[in-house]
Structure 1
Amino acid sequence: MADPMIAAVLLGLMLICLAAGLWVAMALGVVALVAMTAFSNAPAGLVLATTLWGHSHSWALTALPLFILMGEILLRSRLSQDMFSGLAPWLTRAPGRLLHVNVFGCAIFAAVSGSSAATAATIGRMSVPELTKRGYPESLIIGTLAGSATLGLLIPPSIILIVYGVATEQSIARLFVAGILPGFMLIALFAGYVAVRAWMNPALIPQEVRDFPLREKLAASRNLIPVALLIIGVIGSIYTGLASPTDAAALGVVLATVLAWASGSFSIKLFMDALLSATRTSCMIAFILLGAAYLSVAMGFTGLPRNLAAWIGAMELSVPALLVALTLFFIVLGCFLDGISVVVLTTSIIMPMISAVGIDPLWFGIYLVIVVEMSQITPPVGFNLFVIQGMTRLDILRIAKAAFPFFLLLLLGVLLICVFPQIVTYLPELMSR
């Protein structure tokens, strides 16, 4: 059977499995098993056993459950509320005023949680009731929250960057460094959009009841100290070379627990809740990664990635044309799968193409994460949309409409890093000198 036909059969089987409601990890395993038995002579059972064993004790992957646990601890403590109260007084005179709390609050929480959904849930739980009560327009409240929460995927420590690093054997520390400037770029785009909307239509933004004197602003800023210490402890230990991402993740759990306990808002029960929730999430992601590892090995035995890369090379697509095609592909795929599933499903197929045309895998990791961020706010499977719907009880399409401008801003972000790749590569190159 010709390679395009094999690829079509396997893709069709994957879509059937997902449409039938099969878990993503199981769907990956079924497709891999069919590929092994029908299109190769390798012993499928033996390869399955060795693959699962070989990929189940990856030391780099240890950082994943630890960062998830750190985010769960923060989600259940008063530190997130303190962050809101520390930011709000400084933003009463900014164009867009307290809508920027969503943008900067999500950026700060993303730097200590690594999860887009956790960022949306934590910041939304605080900001949506407060901004609604103050009379801010619903579309901007929901839009800024949905869009800015996607920063949880990019700003280090990012769970999806860990997954990409493990799947493609890239340095996780270098990926974390590469995500810094693109993260700031997206924060600037989101905040700039809010400011422009406020300048174009000042009536949209309600007047604040009071203005805070400098002394009160400085006093409120003390609430930001615990979160700042956590960011410095985790991210600083990685960038200074004092700790690996895994060591820093363990340090983050300890610091988050100590700071949450010191705030007086944490208890043994809440810690156990955080531990159980982190365990469930980590097991789900690990299960998907094992299925993806088996699929990756199966693809190698069928020869599809190699032949596909050769086919792409024969087409002599330019790098821009390939990136346009991949962006459209990932956006469509993201409408039906969560971000981690998109990454683990596609890396075994896409990376040979990327290597064939000479694209830097480190740069491609950041590009892929930004594109996957779009999938967090696209129906029908946008995780951020579901999180916000659970909090607000609004119609999912209404939330998606409010988030659409931020989808376009993410698309602009992709264009910017394509035109100026130094936004991604400058800091990693600086670190390696």
Structure 2
Amino acid sequence: MSDLTLGALYGVVTLIVMCSGMPIAFALGVVAITFMYFFMPASSLDTVTQNVYEEMASITLLSIPLFILKGAAIGKSPAGKDLYSAIHTWLHKIPGGLGIANVFACALFAAMAGSSPATCSAIGSAGIPEMRKRGYSPGFAAGIIAAGGTLGILLPPSITMILYAVASEQSLGRLFLAGIGPGILLVALFAGYAVFRARKEYAMAKAIYEAGGDKSPYLDTEHFTLREKVEMLPRVLPFIILLIGVMVALYGGYATPSETAGLGAMLALVLIAVVYNVWRPKDLSPILASTIKESTMLLLIIGMSLLYSYVMSYLHISQSAAQWVVDMHLSRWVLLTVILLMVVVFGFFLPPVSIILMTAPIILPPLKDAGFDLIWFGIVMTVVMEMGLIHPPVGLNIFVIKNIAPDIPLKDVIWGVMPFLGLMLVAVVLLCLFPSIATGLPDMMMGAK
């Protein structure tokens, strides 16, 4: 059996097992062990645990549970709601200010949590009811939170970036820095759309009211005194201190990424203990339980994905697939387009963690040979995977929104995220036209490669 035929069989069996409903980690493990049994020496089965351990024995991966702990500490406390309320107080007079406040709150929270579902849940639980109470359409309210939540895998510290750094053997510090420019770009695009959409919905509500219809809450004006605004600032200050402390420790060279993750987790626990009086065992129990549950699930997926990739490499599937792509002699931009389309298709079924670990051995060598900067590509790929988090049929953030706002029909949620998918596509095009959006900051701070 040729390597490509074996690779096709490997892919088909993987899809069949995944479509059976088996959890992703177990599905990947079952496929890998089955192919080890039939196509590799019998002794290889004796090394399964050793292979998984060796692949996961990375100091970089150690930071993942610590970043998850930091996100859980913020997400399971009133901190997310306070952050959102403070930003809304200062932006309420801007057209679409409530939508912009949600985008900014998602960006700040994502920069501390590193997780899209956590960002969606923490900000959405406060933001969606507030937007609907003030007349925003349910689809728009759901869409802006779902899209804002995707910033969790782009803005540092991103768990997805950590895994890409491991898979591509690239500098994690450079990747973190490279995510900042595109993250700000997406925040600007989302905020701009929020202004446009709010103006449009305001005009519609005003026309209906002037025609004798009901008065929408859109037409009610809010007012906050300067004193009320100033009183809100202390709610944001702890987040800023936490964010700056982590960034200075990482980029100032005072701590490694893993040490920075530990510092961030400890600062987050101290913050919620001092500001919100969350320090008793009964208060910390949900935070620790959530951290253990999410870390175990994620690390199990990582371990099985790495075993899956090891089998691909041993059977020369990844090498043959990469060579097949090279032998097609595609131009570099056509090659990039084909690979990103493949990532989009995988995004229909798989989370970003699995996409990175399963595809990296295949797609990175041809891209490197074509002259693409793998740091830049990691950012582009991350934005494309962000799209996967909000497009059907398995957009994770869509189901997070349904969980926190079950009365919003799924159809409205899906239509609400569609404009943001278009904005993310615009961001990908801009990154291709102007690579320095991603590479400029790491080159400036760490020197050109």
Deviation at 1:355, TM superposition (A): 2.2
1: CA distance between counterparts of 2:151 and 2:355? 17
- Give yes or no for contact 1:75–1:118 (8 Å, CA) kept in 2: yes
2: CA distance between counterparts of 1:23 and 1:101? 36
What is the aligned partner in structure 2 of residue 103 from structure 1? 103
**Is 2:438 the partner of 1:424?**
yes
1: CA distance between counterparts of 2:50 and 2:117? 33
What is the aligned partner in structure 1 of residue 179 from structure 2? 179
- Once the two structures are superposed, what CA deviation does each residue of 1:324-379 show, in whole Å capped at 9, x if it has no partner? 11222111211111221222221122222222322222112111111111111112
- Give yes or no for contact 1:379–1:397 (8 Å, CA) kept in 2: no
What is the aligned partner in structure 2 of residue 236 from structure 1? 248
What is the aligned partner in structure 2 of residue 300 from structure 1? 313
- Give yes or no for contact 1:68–1:114 (8 Å, CA) kept in 2: yes
Once structures 1 and 2 are overlaid, which stretch shifts more, 232-241 or 350-359? Answer: 350-359
Match of residue 387, structure 1, among 390, 400, 404: 400
Deviation at 1:217, TM superposition (A): 2.1
- Once the two structures are superposed, what CA deviation does each residue of 1:136-185 show, in whole Å capped at 9, x if it has no partner? 22121111111111001101111111121122222222111110001000
Equivalent residue runs for 1:87-166 within 5 Å: 87-166=87-166
Q: What one-letter code is carried by the residue in structure 2 that aligns with 1:33?
A: I
Q: What one-letter code is carried by the residue in structure 2 that aligns with 1:372?
A: M
Once structures 1 and 2 are overlaid, which stretch shifts more, 193-202 or 107-116? Answer: 193-202
Q: What one-letter code is carried by the residue in structure 1 that aligns with 2:135?
A: G
What is the aligned partner in structure 1 of residue 215 from structure 2? none
Unaligned regions of 5+ residues in structure 2, if any? 206-217
- Give yes or no for contact 2:4–2:320 (8 Å, CA) kept in 1: no
2: CA distance between counterparts of 1:208 and 1:172? 47
Deviation at 1:48, TM superposition (A): 2.0
- Once the two structures are superposed, what CA deviation does each residue of 1:173-224 show, in whole Å capped at 9, x if it has no partner? 2111110001000000100111222344532571453333434323322210
What is the aligned partner in structure 1 of residue 330 from structure 2? 317
1: CA distance between counterparts of 2:201 and 2:305? 48
What is the aligned partner in structure 1 of residue 16 from structure 2? 16
What is the aligned partner in structure 2 of residue 83 from structure 1? 83
2: CA distance between counterparts of 1:208 and 1:369? 40
Relative to 1, partners in 2 of residues 1:33 and 1:349: Cα closer, same or farther, differing over 3 Å? farther
- Give yes or no for contact 2:149–2:397 (8 Å, CA) kept in 1: yes
**Is 2:347 the partner of 1:334?**
yes
1: CA distance between counterparts of 2:125 and 2:80? 10
Partner-residue secondary structure (3-state), 1:311: helix
What is the aligned partner in structure 1 of residue 388 from structure 2? 375
Once structures 1 and 2 are overlaid, which stretch shifts more, 48-57 or 398-407? Answer: 48-57
- Give yes or no for contact 1:35–1:299 (8 Å, CA) kept in 2: no
Once structures 1 and 2 are overlaid, which stretch shifts more, 362-371 or 150-159? Answer: 362-371
Equivalent residue runs for 1:147-226 within 5 Å: 147-203=147-203, 206-226=218-238
2: CA distance between counterparts of 1:166 and 1:83? 32
Once structures 1 and 2 are overlaid, which stretch shifts more, 414-423 or 392-401? Answer: 392-401
Q: What one-letter code is carried by the residue in structure 2 that aligns with 1:428?
A: P
Unaligned regions of 5+ residues in structure 1, if any? none
Once structures 1 and 2 are overlaid, which stretch shifts more, 145-154 or 84-93? Answer: 84-93
1: CA distance between counterparts of 2:409 and 2:163? 32
Partner-residue secondary structure (3-state), 2:135: coil
Relative to 1, partners in 2 of residues 1:62 and 1:420: Cα closer, same or farther, differing over 3 Å? same
Deviation at 1:30, TM superposition (A): 2.5
Q: When the two structures are aligned, how many residues end up with a matched partner?
A: 433
2: CA distance between counterparts of 1:146 and 1:170? 29
Partner-residue secondary structure (3-state), 1:365: helix
- Give yes or no for contact 2:136–2:201 (8 Å, CA) kept in 1: no
Q: What one-letter code is carried by the residue in structure 1 that aligns with 2:373?
A: D
- Give yes or no for contact 2:3–2:315 (8 Å, CA) kept in 1: no
Relative to 1, partners in 2 of residues 1:204 and 1:102: Cα closer, same or farther, differing over 3 Å? farther
2: CA distance between counterparts of 1:334 and 1:129? 29
Partner-residue secondary structure (3-state), 2:62: helix
Deviation at 1:268, TM superposition (A): 2.3
- Identity, % of aligned pairs? 38
**Is 2:77 the partner of 1:60?**
no
2: CA distance between counterparts of 1:3 and 1:24? 25
2: CA distance between counterparts of 1:208 and 1:223? 26
Deviation at 1:107, TM superposition (A): 0.5
1: CA distance between counterparts of 2:437 and 2:155? 14
Q: What one-letter code is carried by the residue in structure 1 that aligns with 2:435?
A: P
Deviation at 1:405, TM superposition (A): 0.7
2: CA distance between counterparts of 1:243 and 1:107? 24
**Is 2:376 the partner of 1:363?**
yes
Deviation at 1:284, TM superposition (A): 1.0
What is the aligned partner in structure 2 of residue 289 from structure 1? 302
Relative to 1, partners in 2 of residues 1:238 and 1:191: Cα closer, same or farther, differing over 3 Å? same
Q: What one-letter code is carried by the residue in structure 2 that aligns with 1:421?
A: P
2: CA distance between counterparts of 1:395 and 1:85? 26
2: CA distance between counterparts of 1:261 and 1:3? 56
- Give yes or no for contact 1:79–1:226 (8 Å, CA) kept in 2: no
What is the aligned partner in structure 1 of residue 268 from structure 2? 256
